[in-house]
Amino acid sequence: MTPPTAARGISPSFSDLWKRTFLGKPLINEHLESESLSNVVALGALSPDAISSTVYGPEQIMVELLPAAGLAAFVLVLPIAAVILLILVLVAGSYRQVVMTYTQRGGSYVVARSNFGPRIAQLSAAALLIDYVVTVAVQCASGTFAVVSAIPPLGPYHLEITVVALLIISYANLRGMREAGRMFAVPVYAFIVMLTVMIVTGVIRQIFWGLPQYDPQHIAGAVPVHQGNGLVMGATILVLLRAFANGGTSLTGVEAIADAVNVFRKPQGPNARRVLTAMACILGFLLVGVIYLVHATHATPYVAEYPSMLSEVGRAVFGNGIIGNVMYLLLQAASAAILFFGANTSFNGFPALTSFVAEDSFLPRPLVKRGHRLVFSNAIITLTALALVLLLVTGGSVDAIVPLFAMGVFTGFSMAGYGMTKHHLTHREPGWRHKLAINLSAGILSTIVVGIFAVAKFTEGAWLVVVVMPLLVFALMRLNRQYRAEAAVLEMSATEQPELARHARHRVFVFVDSVDLAEVEALRYGKGLQADELVAVHFVIDAAHAARLKQRWERFDHDTRLRIIDCPDRQLTRVAHELVLEALEDHPGTKVTVLLPRRTYSPLLGRLLHDRTADKMAKVISRIPGASAQILPYDIKSRIAQAARARRADIRSGDLMQISADAEQRRNGNEPAPMADAAQQVVENPRK
């Protein structure tokens, strides 16, 4: 299909050329067709964020426990895992009801909006926006640490690798990479298989032969280990809460399926519920299995964050033989792949969420616009920029980012639980009491986790979320107020008849700076407005230039009066404002229209070589009641191209005339000039 601009001979802009070069050909709206997914593919495409959290979740628990509880941490980690598993069951049960009730995209935001209204829903929107940004940073950083755990010499460059990975994922999404498909399922299933093999092998070895154990107190570079020898010593309630809060990051990504119910095959709700249940079961099995092996091997996190704790468990389970090394490398490759692909979950969820929120007029409208490749380009670029800033500020450290992580996640869980509770109280469908108990429990427990994070991790960075989230909600509300104010001004009552009567008097001013084709076009347009008075106005900045303009105007034979107004301080916006006010005061009820010819040039040189005075004056005049300003573009670049084509046509016409004259000389027996011979050859053999 030929693009409309090409069909009309309009040359593409620099932006269009850049997009075509780096992003590919533009897609048309007919390509915007959702791809329905089978349950097997959907599980692989939508669960990498959740399942990959088993890589860093258990490690974050031990980062908190070991410095405070010592070796008792390897016992305490088991009950903490049990509590996390309980929350997983309740949250999954809550979202099983969400996907049956709300089959469009949006997850907890749609639930909150439907049950509490769009304003309360902004709490969920703010939480999810923060969550998506932090998820991208955590997934990319964790993927990099999986790589450097297998290849330690790359460790000093982990931040650079993380940034490059983020930019590659962003670029792929700008090109229109689909969220669903076998490409995303492969690393997920590979990771599940490798982790299952590791867990089964590790449990069997532990039962029959015993696994080798690390000695955390004598590992160079490991996190500090408390020297206590009891379960209570050093393991205060605060420490347990901090460890539990860190472990809560293992539940991130559970909402991803609820965010994409519309991509499932029909019946969408039941299929999404089956996949959600399967994902929760797999996540629970892998999480408990990894934590048990950490308990058995005494795997220890490092201060430098690599090698990762999962890497240590893999070494202990598979050993150092040839087969063991191969299995270890496959485990690390699968871990890195699922972590990097898990970041892509946010690149699908963030743009979809921002488009919903922008449609509700709580975010800028450009976030609704699809770009060159039918993706929400503005949202993708925004997400990339925010995640990049977060990575650079934290140095790509997972330990530094985690305190910002789970607060947004569990706030979303809370809003979904409370929203579904309100839904059941309102509709009272069969079995609603049982469902209400599940949703209310999930909402309350998730709120408790948010509170634990806010208190226990406040000094480690959670304060930033505590401050940013209310500010973000306030900004969303303030933006919505602005949109509503604009809409109220532009709206007419349904019973109010529009007043289309002609103004009692209409005066048109054409601001001129020279006598050229752009001014002539503006005057011609002004005459077409059938105004009661049409006046050309020139503001004097340079007296000599004004005198020359006046002389040329007098030679320019027409009936439009030229008014010269002095502007000693060179403030054109001020004097234009005063002129319009004077016209309105002299004749009440007058409508004043100001026409501003603007010569448009090439995008790059035009901004360097010419100012934007017309835009500034139009902005000031348009604020005056009873006045309007209109900019009349006159494209110089296209006129230059036309003039060049005309010159080439004239030259070619002259050459043809010369050729004809030489041909006439030949017929008369005279030899043509050498130049004519060359021209004749061009005519006879154009390719040459």
Q: Mind listing the pLDDT tens digit for each residue in 31-85?
A: 445 556 788 888 888 888 889 989 998 998 999 888 888 888 899 899 999 999 9
Over residues 94-123, mean pLDDT: 86
Position 235 pLDDT exceeds 90: no
Q: What 3-state DSSP class applies to 682?
A: helix
Using an 8 Å Cβ cutoff, are 414 and 447 in contact? yes
The radius of gyration of the chain's CA atoms, rounded to the nearest angstrom, is 35
Q: Which residue has the higher pLDDT, 248 or 101?
A: 101
Q: What 3-state DSSP class applies to 538?
A: strand
Distance CA 237, CA 382 (A): 39
* Per-residue model confidence (pLDDT) at position 405: 73
Position 574 pLDDT exceeds 90: no
* Per-residue model confidence (pLDDT) at position 238: 74
Using an 8 Å Cβ cutoff, are 35 and 190 in contact? no
Identify which of 684, 675, 628, 627 has the alpha carbon closest to the alpha carbon of residue 655. 675
Distance CA 54, CA 57 (A): 5
Identify which of 278, 247, 310 has the alpha carbon closest to the alpha carbon of residue 84. 247
Lowest mean pLDDT among 54-68, 156-170, 351-365, 592-606: 592-606
* Per-residue model confidence (pLDDT) at position 1: 43
Q: Which ranges in 47-181 belong to alpha helices (H)?
A: 48-69, 73-101, 108-116, 121-150, 158-174
Q: Which of 177-181, 261-265, 412-416, 667-671 has the highest mean pLDDT?
A: 412-416
Beta bridge partners of 506: 591
* Per-residue model confidence (pLDDT) at position 524: 84
Position 564 pLDDT exceeds 50: yes
Lowest mean pLDDT among 159-173, 234-248, 611-625: 234-248
Residue 268 is given by DSSP the state H
Beta bridge partners of 535: 509, 561
Q: Mind listing the pLDDT tens digit for each residue in 381-416?
A: 999 999 999 999 999 988 888 777 777 788 888 999
φ, ψ (nearest 5 deg) of residue 412: -65, -40
Q: Mind listing the pLDDT tens digit for each residue in 301-318?
A: 999 888 999 999 999 999
Position 109 pLDDT exceeds 80: yes
The pLDDT mean for the chain works out to 80
Cα dihedral across residues 640, 641, 644, 645: positive or negative: negative
Distance CA 573, CA 616 (A): 7
Q: Which residue has the higher pLDDT, 236 or 683?
A: 236
